[in-house]
Amino acid sequence: MTDTSTFGDAFFADAYAQHSAQPDEHGHFGRYGGRFMPEALMAALAELTEAYQKSKNDPTFQAEFTHLLRTYANRPSLLTDAKRLSRAAFEKGCGARILLKREDLNHTGSHKINNVLGQALLTKRMGKRRVIAETGAGQHGVATATAAALLDLECVVYMGEEDTQRQALNVARMRMLGAEVIPVAIGSRTLKDAINEAIRDWVTNVDHTHYLLGTVAGPHPFPAMVRDFVRVIGAEAREQVMTLTGALPDAVAACVGGGSNAIGAFHAFVPDASVRLYGFEAGGSGVETGLHAASITGGEIGVLHGARTYLLQDEYGQTMPSHSISAGLDYPAVGPEHAWLHDTGRAVYEAVTDDEAMQAFKLLCRTEGVIPAIESAHAVAGALRIAPKLRAELGREPVILVNLSGRGDKDMHTAAAYFGFSGMEA
């Protein structure tokens, strides 16, 4: 890649070119990524790659995308100085300054809308009239159904049967928006099986259908393309933190399932050597119990859904079921760029358990009046964990940027069940 432009130049006046050499032309981030997909999809992947590369240098496309982000998705999203959270979380004088990047305030309630608007515009450019998507918690499905309604595209969303029951509200939202939701009743009946079913649909209907993948996983060009559509998160936050504090943050924290919000938050900071990048994976009941979704912390290298990356698998390469209280992190693999950032040491990945995430969830509700998605609560918990360590290293109060990737309305059933009503009153 030789171009130095990016989506919405007005937004992103940063050092994109310095680290845009990844992936290579075949979609490899070091040893990760690539294209492990049926030959039948190679033409569509090539077409998509071409459309995506062209759009990067196309002022009309960028203007259209930026316009939608500003006038429809509610960008730029706010930066909130979470002073009460910091005071409550730490003994006096031992704290951190925690800044929240408020992706929860986007239209549809999460960072997913950024990628979805970008890909939906590309779908129109490719002359396709139908989009399909997978969804776990339903956030990506709702965002896709929203963009499809706005841009007049037919929309089918695949969702594991188990998830359609856990996230009934989001199923209703998607149907209200005009999408067809198809429950997937094979395999583990969760996100990974919804992806399999979406791939089967795609290979059958590829001539008029775009697979609007919701994260930085899958075959090339998805990991790079989705990253470029969500990197607005970090690009905005970088400017906002500089304006607020006069300096770069000391660390950026984000939750990692497939990893799209984390890549979005990290990417603009990758060239800033002083900024530590922390990805917090879903530790479930604890990585040592085997009941988790921490692919980097507790998985091994393999191939799933089109890319080589870290994944949860048994000794024969069968995908292992993942476990997390957060449906959006409940995925047994991770985007290949995260695998690469981990191996190069540029980013650090740790697991946060269900319990740690839920404590942080409650604390953020009570101190800031912000109900986060349980996914995002993993990032808050992680930030609270690393603060004392950073403080010791730096000899001063660290500034930690936390990507609050989504809002928690969808999680009220789960939270009420977790805390019990007495817990909610405590």
Residue among 222, 224, 259, 278 nearest 333 (CA)? 259
CB of 308 to other proteins, least distance (A): 8
CB of 261 to other proteins, least distance (A): 24
Residue 107 binds other proteins, judged by CB under 8 A: no
CA-to-CA distance for 253 and 196, rounded, in angstroms?
30
**Of the two residues 140 and 305, which places its CB atom closer to other proteins in the complex?**
305
Dihedral sign for Cα 282, 82, 70, 73, please.
Answer: positive
CA-to-CA distance for 201 and 170, rounded, in angstroms?
22
Which helix (H) or strand (E) segment holds residue 278: the answer is strand 276-284
Task: Check if 405 is active-site.
Answer: yes
CB of 194 to other proteins, least distance (A): 11
If phi > 0 it is left, if psi is from -120 to 50 it is alpha, else beta; for residue 305 that is left
The three-state DSSP-derived secondary structure of 390-420 is HHHHHCCCCEEEEEECEECHHHHHHHHHHHH
Give the relative orientation of helices 42-56 and 222-230 as an angle to the nearest 10 degrees.
Answer: 30
Q: Which of 74, 196, 285, 359 binds other proteins (CB under 8 A)?
A: 196
CA-to-CA distance for 309 and 320, rounded, in angstroms?
14
Q: Which of 173, 192, 238, 292 binds other proteins (CB under 8 A)?
A: 192
CB of 223 to other proteins, least distance (A): 15
Q: Which of 1, 38, 54, 180 binds other proteins (CB under 8 A)?
A: 38
Residue 207 binds other proteins, judged by CB under 8 A: yes
Candidate segments 118-126, 127-135, 192-200, 374-382, binder of other proteins by CB under 8 A: 192-200
Residue 210 binds other proteins, judged by CB under 8 A: no
**Of the two residues 219 and 249, which places its CB atom closer to other proteins in the complex?**
219
Beta strand pairing call for 97-102 and 79-81: antiparallel
CA-to-CA distance for 139 and 144, rounded, in angstroms?
9
- Tokens 């077409």 belong to 47
Residue 249 binds other proteins, judged by CB under 8 A: no
Residue 168 binds other proteins, judged by CB under 8 A: no
**Of the two residues 197 and 350, which places its CB atom closer to other proteins in the complex?**
197
Catalytic residue among 103, 134, 162, 337: 134
CB of 317 to other proteins, least distance (A): 3
Residue 130 binds other proteins, judged by CB under 8 A: no
Residue 421 binds other proteins, judged by CB under 8 A: no
Q: What is the strand order of the sheet 300-304 is part of?
A: 28-29, 32-33, 307-311, 300-304
**Of the two residues 141 and 299, which places its CB atom closer to other proteins in the complex?**
299
CB of 239 to other proteins, least distance (A): 39
Residue 150 binds other proteins, judged by CB under 8 A: no
Amino acid in the structure at residue 270 = V
Stretch 10-29: interaction string toward other proteins, x if CB under 8 A:
----------------x---
**Longest CA–CA separation in the chain, Å:** 61
- The set of catalytic residues is 112, 134, 405
Which residues of the chain form contacts with other proteins (CB under 8 A)?
A: 26, 34-44, 186-187, 192-193, 196, 199-200, 203-207, 302-306, 313, 315-319
